[in-house]
């Protein structure tokens, strides 16, 4: 504000001095000499449409004083008073010239100001309309999400269920239903063993063609994922230890997964984060990712998430786990709506319950 007023005053004084020099009467000349003592704020030029009439200068300025600091106000008021006094003491012919010049530019200034105001009001109306629409969409989405949560609660009513669904591209959590509850991992722990094997191969400490567990590591890997064979991961744990498996889980973003002789425990959110990281470029190479996804897509237990997604034309790369009353399905799904991780962990429920929950999640996505 101070800068704008300074520029205006500078323009005002420039006109006064220019006309005074041209008039050359003794009074005007003497006045022009006195005017040169006006402070530095008079320096500068201002485009014509930003110039205002001398009469409106004081009123306009005072409207803005309330937004300034006390120091700025007092400084500006002194300079305004000096500018006003300088103008009032100018010869009549100088004042007339100033007013004649400023009146025409003041009209243009008013037009520009009106245009700016109309544009601002239009932009404000557009923004308000957008906010109303966004609010309506948010309310609708919130309503749909609550309906999904209610449906999942009904599906899991006879047992215990947990769900995590994440957009693999953005990492946005789309569905979270008791996703941090701990479950016995059952065979879903083999996802972490698979990553441990991939890390070892990429570190060149073992080859896929090397003998391992009575066969090659590559064959061992496929049996573990496709048929949920237990001999391969148990031999890996025997040779590499629980600490290595748990470290692999942590590297995948599984914060609450535990490996111990008494059992393996994990959560839906941990499995979802791990599957998402395994689909990206940061944790494993492209060749390793292709090997893993190929095995997961061939996984022979298809009664859970695949039974819900594949009829819609989607593909499912998943690893199941079942032990005693625990039944889990952890999947990467590719659909017409995008790629997502969907993890459903249950206790004392069925494959039908998992498939029904996956169908509800798909409708929501």
State whether 251 and 203 are in the same domain: yes
Q: What is the DSSP letter of 8?
A: H
| Nearest C-alpha neighbor of 330 from the set 322, 13, 35 | 322
Question: Containing H/E element for 198?
Answer: helix 190-202
State whether 157 and 22 are in the same domain: no
Decide if pLDDT at 5 tops 50: no
The two most distant CA atoms of the chain are separated, in Å, by 115
Rounded CA separation 353/365 (Å)? 19
Could you tell me how many residues make up the chain? 365
**Confidence (pLDDT) at 197:** 97
Residues 262-283: tens digit of each pLDDT: 899 999 999 999 999 999 888 9
Q: Which domain holds residue 99?
A: 2-113
Q: Is residue 121 part of a domain?
A: no
Q: Is residue 186 part of a domain?
A: yes
State whether 156 and 284 are in the same domain: yes
Angle at the Cα of 50 (from 18 to 90), degrees rounded to 5? 35
Of 67, 96, 113, which residue constitutes the final position of a domain?
113
State whether 200 and 287 are in the same domain: yes
- For 252-329, where are the alpha helices, taking DSSP H only? 268-279, 286-298, 305-309
Number of structural domains found in the chain: 2
Percent pLDDT > 70 in the chain is 65
Residues 86-110: tens digit of each pLDDT: 667 767 766 666 555 554 555 555 5
**Confidence (pLDDT) at 141:** 80
Rounded CA separation 360/365 (Å)? 9
Strand, helix or coil for residue 205: coil
183 touches 364 (CB < 8 A):
no
Q: Is residue 133 part of a domain?
A: no
Q: Is residue 208 part of a domain?
A: yes
Q: Is residue 68 part of a domain?
A: yes
pLDDT greater at residue 297 or residue 33: 297
Residues 346-356: tens digit of each pLDDT: 999 999 999 99
What pTM did the predictor assign? 0.65
Average pLDDT over residues 15-22: 42
Strands 215-216 and 211-212, bridge-based pairing: antiparallel
State whether 72 and 156 are in the same domain: no
CA distances for 245 relative to 142, 229, 234, 239, 248, angstroms:
39, 17, 11, 11, 5
State whether 9 and 55 are in the same domain: yes
Q: What is the distance, to the nearest Å, from the Cα of residue 291 to the centroid of all Cα atoms in its chain? A: 32
State whether 55 and 203 are in the same domain: no
Q: Is residue 190 part of a domain?
A: yes
At what angle are helices 286-298 and 268-279 packed, to 10 degrees? 130
State whether 211 and 305 are in the same domain: yes
State whether 54 and 177 are in the same domain: no
**Confidence (pLDDT) at 54:** 45
Q: Is residue 135 part of a domain?
A: no
Angle at the Cα of 357 (from 354 to 359), degrees rounded to 5? 110
Residues 149-206: tens digit of each pLDDT: 999 999 999 999 999 999 999 999 999 999 999 999 999 999 999 999 999 999 999 9
Decide if pLDDT at 2 tops 50: no
| Nearest C-alpha neighbor of 20 from the set 86, 78, 81, 106 | 86
State whether 303 and 194 are in the same domain: yes
Q: Is residue 129 part of a domain?
A: no
- 162: phi then psi, degrees, rounded to nearest 5: -145, 140
Decide if pLDDT at 259 tops 60: yes
Rounded CA separation 188/331 (Å)? 10
State whether 159 and 10 are in the same domain: no
Residues 48-57: tens digit of each pLDDT: 333 344 444 4
Residues 229-257: tens digit of each pLDDT: 999 999 999 999 999 999 999 999 999 99
State whether 168 and 62 are in the same domain: no
């Amino acid at each position: 504000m101070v800068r704008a007023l300074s520029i205006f005053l500078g323009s005002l004084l420039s006109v006064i001095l220019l006309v005074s020099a041209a008039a050359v009467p003794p009074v005007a000349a003497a006045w022009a000499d006195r005017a040169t003592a006006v402070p530095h704020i008079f320096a500068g030029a201002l485009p014509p449409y930003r110039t205002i009439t001398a009469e409106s200068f004081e009123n306009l300025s005072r409207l803005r004083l309330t937004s300034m600091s006390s120091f700025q106000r007092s400084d500006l008021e002194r300079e305004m008073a000096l500018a006003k006094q300088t103008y009032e003491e100018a010869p009549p012919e100088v004042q007339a010239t100033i007013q004649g010049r400023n009146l025409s530019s003041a009209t243009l200034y008013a037009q520009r100001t009106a245009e700016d105001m109309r544009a601002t009001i239009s932009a404000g109306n557009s923004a308000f309309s957008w906010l109303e629409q966004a609010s309506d969409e948010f309310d609708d989405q919130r309503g749909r999400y609550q309906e999904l949560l209610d449906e999942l609660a009904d599906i899991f009513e006879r047992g215990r269920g947990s769900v995590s669904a994440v957009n693999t591209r953005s990492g946005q959590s789309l569905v979270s239903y008791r996703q941090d509850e701990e479950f016995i991992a059952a065979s879903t722990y083999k996802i972490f063993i698979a990553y441990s094997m991939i890390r070892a191969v990429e570190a060149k400490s073992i080859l896929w063609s090397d003998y391992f567990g009575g066969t090659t590591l590559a064959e061992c890997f496929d049996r573990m994922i496709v048929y949920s064979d237990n001999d391969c991961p148990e031999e890996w744990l025997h040779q590499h230890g629980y600490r290595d498996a748990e470290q692999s889980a942590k590297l995948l973003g599984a914060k609450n997964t535990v490996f111990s002789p008494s059992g393996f425990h994990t959560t839906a959110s941990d499995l979802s984060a791990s599957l998402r990281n395994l689909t990206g470029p940061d944790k494993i190479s492209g060749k390793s990712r292709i090997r893993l996804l190929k095995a997961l897509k061939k996984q022979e237990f298809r009664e859970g998430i695949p039974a819900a997604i594949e009829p819609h034309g989607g593909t499912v790369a998943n690893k199941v786990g079942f032990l005693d009353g625990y039944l889990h399905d952890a999947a990467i799904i590719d659909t017409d709506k995008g790629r997502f991780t969907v993890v459903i962990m249950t206790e004392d429920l069925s494959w039908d319950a998992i498939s029904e929950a996956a169908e509800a999640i798909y409708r929501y996505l």
